[in-house]
Structure 1
Amino acid sequence: MFPVGNALALTAAPLAGTYTGITADTFQSTNPPGNAIDQNSSSFWHSEYSPVLTPLPHQATLDLGSSQTINGFTYLPRQDGLENGNIGRYGLEVSTDKVTWTVVSNATWLDDQSTKVVGFPTRAVRYVRITAFTEAGNRGPWTSAAEFGVTLPSPVNPTTANKIIGQWSPVIPFPIVAAAGFVEHHTGKILTFSAFEPNQYVGGSGNTYTAIYDPSTGSVSEVDITNTGHDMFCPGMNLDADGRAIVTGGSDAIKTSAFRPSVGDWLTLAPMQIQRGYQASTLCSDGRTFTIGGSWNGPLGGKNGEIYNGAANTWTKLPGCPVAPMLTNDQQGIFRQDNHGWLFGWKNGYVFQAGPSSAMNWYGTSGTGSQSAAGKRGTDPDSMNGNAVMYDALNGKILTVGGSPSYGPSTATANAHIITIGAPNTTPTVQSINPMWYARAFANSVVLPDGQVFITGGQLQAMPFTDTTAVFISEIWNPVTTNFVRTASHAVPRTYHSIALLMLDGKVFTAGGGMCGDCSTNHEDAQIYSPPYLFNADGSLATRPVISAVSSTKFAVGSTFTATTSAASPSWCMIRYGSATHTVDTDQRRIPLTATKNSGGTYTFTLPGDSGIVLPGYYMLFALSNGTPSVATTLQITVA
């Protein structure tokens, strides 16, 4: 076994046709299962191929001898120069008694000779069972392994690097490729979804696989949603004023579904007027949902704007909101030119479109709609699959980063700009700032409680369904210096079909990538990033401020409320709950709050009075002490 981090060695001794430490349901007599735990990379276990060719799947079970606390599994393919039997799609289970088994990973490994590492939440187990469902190169019904092993949790030793670059969690196995997701406002759980299959989008309709991650327990649960008849892969998505996730189009291009976090159920809503896939949607200041674009599915072109009225459950076309002014000049034509708009709900029912086209626009949603040009995004080219984040809604500030001129293959940029918007139908200011350290397409960006923006994943060359040129080092942008700082590297490529979301504790959840069936670029897992503000200078965990009370958890815009904390001289902000798919999150926005100190650690706030700045819906309220955020308290903001 080749150790990765701390590792537990297994011994092998023959006993009546099996091996203490490992058993297998099949093996060639010259390649017994004990070879996979003998710490000798030149030997290997191989499934039987003579005189009987044993068909897939194949299983091997490791016996640790006693209960051991582990947090991962390692697999070294055979190292003799051949590749027959390299494990492709696999399932990994653990057990304390060899009777009840818990699935900790289902994924696919690359067809190469590198050591594969699977991380999962720390647990005490005695048995680990791997099932090989496919051979990575589709060469035959074989399975082989030079070494299997498990990893032990490392001692928690603070490091000064934590304060500089932050820290990533172990990889968390997921049952699906999380191509989309949102945070549930009542629990802080993260609901993710893929398509009609856990890791495949081609060929199905009418259902969607979902997985919910519970940060409080580390558990992941899976549900196949069938009652809406909606394959929600590649949708538009936004959170409405009641906190519902409104999911439109995608593989089932006309449908609309909604998830109610407070109830935990999915509803069928009125269908759109226009079939769409890869469109963008945003909430408007009056609580309605605006959507535009989406020629990935349905007829090509003509995907002008329409608006959803939740109270009436109706969609209405807006002929005055043409999609043509926001088209990119993509090399694949209209199929890609109207995808993934950077939309921001703003004042008086207007929507600002910041990209990905180099041209920016204002869309009005009253009556039959309206459109007016808002100028160019400086000298930035079309930036498909780049990011745009409203990091300071009070002052109309938007950060844009990365993207590429075409969907792919296309060279990404490291460009960064600050857009400042004011009154609707006026030209915003655009400031070109220092670029990112790395060019990125298919990255994700998340605004943090301290006003900085975390950028993670992506690739230098935009090429869907690949991990070539993947960027593993994340960056944090500082709005004061306007510079980017490189942070810790994550373990798994996060490129096409990946997501990132802010959590209630100020950490960042990332997941997904792939969605191409039995391919090597599916990433059915997640990781969580702890930013530097969660650590002391010596690398130990910083003491968080605590919000002990709020005067209410539901307010109209313009309301005054109070909150109490024991922190000395805290700063405060609200961040709207996020939803993410295909690099787009039109929900997240940060609103800095000015506080007046009262007695006893109580502070008074007055919310901005414009529901275009404070879009209705659910927000995370953070108190920060010396830059370290509290765990958020949830507030609901309503239209005045």
Structure 2
Amino acid sequence: MTIFLSLFSVCLFIRAVASVTAPILKAAWTATADSFQTGNEPQKAIDANMNTFWHSQFNPSPDALPNWLIVDMKSTYNINGVAYLPRQDGNANGRVGGHKIEVSLDGTNWKLVATGTYFNDAIVKRTTFVTRPARYVRLTATTEAQGTGLQWTSVAEFNVYHEVEYEYLPRTGWTATADSQETAAENAPVSNAIDGDLTTYWHTKWGGGAAAPLPHWIQIDAGAQVTATGLSYLPRGSPGNGRIGQFSIQVSNDGSTWTQVATGAWIDDEAEKISLFSATARYWRLNAITEAGNRGPWSTAREIRLVRGEIEVVPAAPAASKGLWINTVDFPIVPVAVAMLPNGKVLTWSSYARDTFDGMHGFTQTAIFDPVTGESTQRIVTNTAHDMFCPGISMDFNGRIIVTGGSDAAKTSIYDPATDSWIAAPNMNIARGYQATSTCSDGRIFNIGGSWSGPKGGKNGEIYSPSANTWTLQPGALVSPMLTVDKQDNNGIYRGDNHGWLFSWRSKTVFQAGPSKAMNWYDTTGAGTTTGAGTRGDDADAMCGNAVMYDAVAGKILTAGGSQDYDGDDARSNAYVITLGTPKTNPLVTKVPNMAFARGFANGVALPDGTVFVTGGQSFVKPFTDTTAILIPELFNPATNTWTQLNPMAIPRTYHSTAILLPDATVLQGGGGLCGGCGVNHFDAEIFVPPYLLNTDGTRRTRPVINTVASTVKLGATLSITTNSAVTRFAMVRLGTATHTVDTDQRRIPLTPAGSGTSYTVTIPSDAGVALPGYWFLFALNSAGTPSVSKIIKVTP
């Protein structure tokens, strides 16, 4: 790879305005594997030819999984991702399912950067992670994606990515031709692909009912021979029609005799695509073999450029005092909703499709993620006839996940972790989507709002009894006092009752902290009542902000961010602490320092040490975009009343992202998108290690260990705990359920122990409105504030 380190004359070269994540040139690479079939050697995974592939041995007998492929890039790069292309010959055998990706500087000592499960199809898979230096990259396949027990692995192409700034050749004197162009139904001639205007694009013919069929080609005549190290293709934005998927690149000096220099497949998003090679020619042809999203027989391009050179961008090393993002988790779906299960696994789901939503379909794509193995088990839930996209979610006293409404707006589905099964429950009385629900102190599930789906407006409260398996209307629980004022609500309520910030409290009450600036109490007895609770200080409506109960004993809730309007508005950085007291009285509202970043669509997580982790979001809220994404999370410390900026994540997490506390006191943040060909679908998550688990050099602290504790405890009872070393405090965090910035299940209870040495007792609060029965993480913390791995315990009424 040629790297230019000197300054370039403006008249000779054009530098990229911003850095680009791009593949590393593979010409000098070598590949090895644990196994290969003759004719399908490992080098064929890096030969820049998508029609060849490496295959583990299958004849006379297969070499059983796991199988691994190692690439040696011959030099050290600062890499931030890989792409795996399954075989392209129409045969599914060997597609990678469960996997892990590791990097090394010496080929001996390996560091995990990603794990997970790829979806079973032939489309290119992209895994992004926080930048790390590496010379060697190892892909290990642990399962075959078809799930049939097949014992082999294949890879058509394997690419490694880094962040670079490109130097482009000038396009003076260039002309462009194509096999097809649309100039009647729209002004999209081929010349648009080299005009330097990002608002125009070339489009193949589609008007008049006679779309030109694939494959297509676009050809550049540079006017004279030029030397390039790659081709840059900028796809159109949204909608994504015509984005090029499978491609080949050819060069010629006479426009007649062509030599192929690259093949591959590009991901269906709007980011700039780079194919690297080295060639000298006058004519350059990009052949579009498929459309990236299978939307139709057309091809488009905003801009085509030739690459002259590149400079690798070297990021600063992350400071352990700001936490570390350790690895990416690949999912077979976009995890729009998540629920922590009593067995330590995470239930996730999207909609009827893994990458988009649309209407009512009566089934849902789900996956259960195991933090221990890093892999996910996929399932399509059909028996409840419920598309569970954009629902209300609550965990009942027995750890069952109660999912209400969404796309199929009247439905109720229950996941029972004890039997690993989905159960259909009675329909709600009011069809809802984007509502919020809250498990009450008596075990019933309160539900209010949700005009995104079903009829608009009038979404007053109703309540579900798990014991009776019935829904009951509560006409006195009025939705009108909690409405926000949203510009989309000119023709009736649509957004104003979405995503309520609900907190179960004492005496069967539910406190509504937002997102409206007006706060309210709901009494869930009988027909329900509504009592105003004042306003959230000087805050305005804060749609798609979030609220976290970080100290339930003291009634403390942190609220942060949000915007006046759901779509197309500036987010805010406002933060407040609400202190609950007697039900149906106005709480104390204290304005605390603002976050460093304005955020909408962010997520908040209560950590065991009493701090609150706020992550993701964007400063200008616009669903299905990653523009203005905030990559730097912040940590609020109530003890010092301060915010601390932490190390940035690798992947934007905006609309439809989630975050949840894991049993080992790390945080899983994932998702975003679910919009088909929008280009911002994120089939992954990242795991964050908070500073309380790290030494100054980035190594893990020695953690206390909970040796023994009962698996169940009653409200108000004393719990005996033994540890392996001295600790100073304990904390319980209720298992969370999250979607659309809302997690009404998580709350934290600090516990002061009696005892010394390694034997302690703690007393569980006696009020079910505080220590909400159900499943909780129990953490022990030492004098340094380092938490143990949790024990999951059940608090019973």
The alignment's TM-score, normalised by the length of structure 2, stands at 0.67
CA distance in structure 2 between the aligned counterparts of 1:379 and 1:526, rounded to whole angstroms: 35
Letter paired with 2:331: F
What corresponds to 1:605 in structure 2?
Answer: 762
- Deviation at residue 237 of structure 1 after TM alignment: 0.4
Does residue 143 (structure 1) correspond to residue 247 (structure 2)? The answer is: yes
Where structure 2 has 5 or more consecutive residues not aligned to the other structure, the ranges are 4-20, 31-38, 58-66, 74-82, 98-116, 131-136, 142-152, 160-213, 216-234, 249-263, 265-273, 278-315
- Deviation at residue 627 of structure 1 after TM alignment: 1.0
What corresponds to 2:776 in structure 1?
Answer: 619
Q: Percent identity?
A: 47
CA distance in structure 2 between the aligned counterparts of 1:623 and 1:5, rounded to whole angstroms: 44
- Deviation at residue 119 of structure 1 after TM alignment: 5.4
Letter paired with 2:656: H
CA distance in structure 2 between the aligned counterparts of 1:2 and 1:166, rounded to whole angstroms: 35
Q: 1:130 to 1:584 in 2, by over 3 A?
A: farther
What corresponds to 1:191 in structure 2?
Answer: 347
Whether the aligned pair in 1 keeps the contact of 2:451 and 2:457 (CA below 8 Å) is yes
Letter paired with 1:623: A
What corresponds to 1:311 in structure 2?
Answer: 467
CA distance in structure 2 between the aligned counterparts of 1:128 and 1:119, rounded to whole angstroms: 20
CA distance in structure 1 between the aligned counterparts of 2:451 and 2:71, rounded to whole angstroms: 47
Moved more, 557-566 or 166-175: 166-175
Whether the aligned pair in 2 keeps the contact of 1:160 and 1:538 (CA below 8 Å) is no
The alignment partner of 2:385 has SS state of coil
Moved more, 425-434 or 62-71: 62-71
The alignment of Structure 1 onto Structure 2 pairs a total of residues equal to 571
Q: Deviations over 1:502-546 (max 9, x none)?
A: 000000001100010122011111111011111112221101100
What corresponds to 2:440 in structure 1?
Answer: 284
CA distance in structure 1 between the aligned counterparts of 2:610 and 2:715, rounded to whole angstroms: 21
Which protein, 1 or 2, shows the higher relative CO under an 8 Å CA cutoff with sep ≥ 6?
Answer: 1
Residue 374 of structure 2 is aligned with which of 211, 218, 223? 218
What corresponds to 1:111 in structure 2?
Answer: none
Residue 476 of structure 1 is aligned with which of 631, 635, 656? 635
Does residue 418 (structure 1) correspond to residue 412 (structure 2)? The answer is: no
Summarize the alignment of residues 101-500 of structure 1 with structure 2, pairs less than 5 Å apart: 101-103=95-97, 104-105=117-118, 118=128, 123-124=139-140, 127-129=154-156, 138=242, 142-144=246-248, 145=264, 147=275, 161-186=318-343, 188-333=344-489, 334-500=493-659
- Deviation at residue 19 of structure 1 after TM alignment: 10
- Deviation at residue 139 of structure 1 after TM alignment: 5.1
Q: Deviations over 1:545-587 (max 9, x none)?
A: 000001x221221011110112223310000000000000000
Whether the aligned pair in 1 keeps the contact of 2:85 and 2:155 (CA below 8 Å) is no
Q: 1:353 to 1:536 in 2, by over 3 A?
A: same
Q: Deviations over 1:236-257 (max 9, x none)?
A: 0010000000000000000101
What corresponds to 2:107 in structure 1?
Answer: none
Letter paired with 1:101: R
What corresponds to 2:725 in structure 1?
Answer: 567
Residue 524 of structure 1 is aligned with which of 683, 686, 702? 683
CA distance in structure 2 between the aligned counterparts of 1:372 and 1:71, rounded to whole angstroms: 66
Letter paired with 1:284: C
CA distance in structure 2 between the aligned counterparts of 1:381 and 1:402, rounded to whole angstroms: 10
CA distance in structure 2 between the aligned counterparts of 1:124 and 1:148, rounded to whole angstroms: 25
Does residue 591 (structure 1) correspond to residue 583 (structure 2)? The answer is: no
Whether the aligned pair in 1 keeps the contact of 2:350 and 2:364 (CA below 8 Å) is yes
Whether the aligned pair in 2 keeps the contact of 1:10 and 1:64 (CA below 8 Å) is no
CA distance in structure 1 between the aligned counterparts of 2:532 and 2:51, rounded to whole angstroms: 61
Whether the aligned pair in 1 keeps the contact of 2:733 and 2:777 (CA below 8 Å) is yes
CA distance in structure 2 between the aligned counterparts of 1:506 and 1:398, rounded to whole angstroms: 20
- Deviation at residue 218 of structure 1 after TM alignment: 1.0
CA distance in structure 2 between the aligned counterparts of 1:470 and 1:525, rounded to whole angstroms: 16
CA distance in structure 2 between the aligned counterparts of 1:440 and 1:2, rounded to whole angstroms: 40
CA distance in structure 2 between the aligned counterparts of 1:312 and 1:21, rounded to whole angstroms: 60
Q: 1:148 to 1:223 in 2, by over 3 A?
A: farther
Q: 1:277 to 1:545 in 2, by over 3 A?
A: same
The alignment partner of 2:647 has SS state of strand
- Deviation at residue 226 of structure 1 after TM alignment: 0.7
Letter paired with 1:61: F
The alignment partner of 1:102 has SS state of coil
What corresponds to 1:61 in structure 2?
Answer: 53
CA distance in structure 1 between the aligned counterparts of 2:635 and 2:140, rounded to whole angstroms: 36
Q: 1:140 to 1:461 in 2, by over 3 A?
A: closer
The alignment's TM-score, normalised by the length of structure 1, stands at 0.83
Whether the aligned pair in 1 keeps the contact of 2:128 and 2:651 (CA below 8 Å) is no
Q: 1:122 to 1:620 in 2, by over 3 A?
A: farther
Whether the aligned pair in 1 keeps the contact of 2:86 and 2:154 (CA below 8 Å) is no
- Deviation at residue 140 of structure 1 after TM alignment: 6.0
CA distance in structure 1 between the aligned counterparts of 2:498 and 2:771, rounded to whole angstroms: 26
Letter paired with 2:791: T
Q: 1:131 to 1:522 in 2, by over 3 A?
A: farther
- Deviation at residue 594 of structure 1 after TM alignment: 1.4
CA distance in structure 2 between the aligned counterparts of 1:457 and 1:412, rounded to whole angstroms: 12
The alignment partner of 1:405 has SS state of coil
Summarize the alignment of residues 537-556 of structure 1 with structure 2, pairs less than 5 Å apart: 537-550=696-709, 552-556=710-714
CA distance in structure 2 between the aligned counterparts of 1:224 and 1:140, rounded to whole angstroms: 30
What corresponds to 2:177 in structure 1?
Answer: none
The alignment partner of 2:744 has SS state of coil
Whether the aligned pair in 2 keeps the contact of 1:71 and 1:119 (CA below 8 Å) is no
Q: 1:324 to 1:244 in 2, by over 3 A?
A: same
The alignment partner of 1:628 has SS state of coil
Whether the aligned pair in 2 keeps the contact of 1:162 and 1:532 (CA below 8 Å) is no
Q: Deviations over 1:213-244 (max 9, x none)?
A: 11111112211111111100000001000000
Whether the aligned pair in 2 keeps the contact of 1:160 and 1:539 (CA below 8 Å) is no
Task: Compute the RMSD of aligned alpha carbons.
Answer: 3.4
The alignment partner of 1:518 has SS state of helix
Q: 1:579 to 1:170 in 2, by over 3 A?
A: same
Whether the aligned pair in 2 keeps the contact of 1:355 and 1:383 (CA below 8 Å) is yes
Whether the aligned pair in 1 keeps the contact of 2:336 and 2:672 (CA below 8 Å) is yes
What corresponds to 2:739 in structure 1?
Answer: 581
CA distance in structure 2 between the aligned counterparts of 1:634 and 1:2, rounded to whole angstroms: 54
Where structure 1 has 5 or more consecutive residues not aligned to the other structure, the ranges are 25-32, 37-44, 46-57, 73-88, 109-114, 150-158
Q: 1:612 to 1:517 in 2, by over 3 A?
A: same
Q: 1:165 to 1:59 in 2, by over 3 A?
A: farther
Letter paired with 1:470: A
CA distance in structure 2 between the aligned counterparts of 1:418 and 1:458, rounded to whole angstroms: 20
Q: Deviations over 1:142-181 (max 9, x none)?
A: 52446589xxxxxxxxx99553111112322211111001
CA distance in structure 1 between the aligned counterparts of 2:725 and 2:319, rounded to whole angstroms: 23
The alignment partner of 1:325 has SS state of helix
CA distance in structure 1 between the aligned counterparts of 2:781 and 2:356, rounded to whole angstroms: 42
Letter paired with 1:124: T
Larger radius of gyration: 2
The alignment partner of 1:562 has SS state of strand
The alignment partner of 2:320 has SS state of helix
- Deviation at residue 130 of structure 1 after TM alignment: 5.3
What corresponds to 1:27 in structure 2?
Answer: none
Letter paired with 2:332: P
Whether the aligned pair in 2 keeps the contact of 1:93 and 1:105 (CA below 8 Å) is no
Does residue 631 (structure 1) correspond to residue 789 (structure 2)? The answer is: yes
CA distance in structure 2 between the aligned counterparts of 1:118 and 1:632, rounded to whole angstroms: 29
- Deviation at residue 268 of structure 1 after TM alignment: 0.6
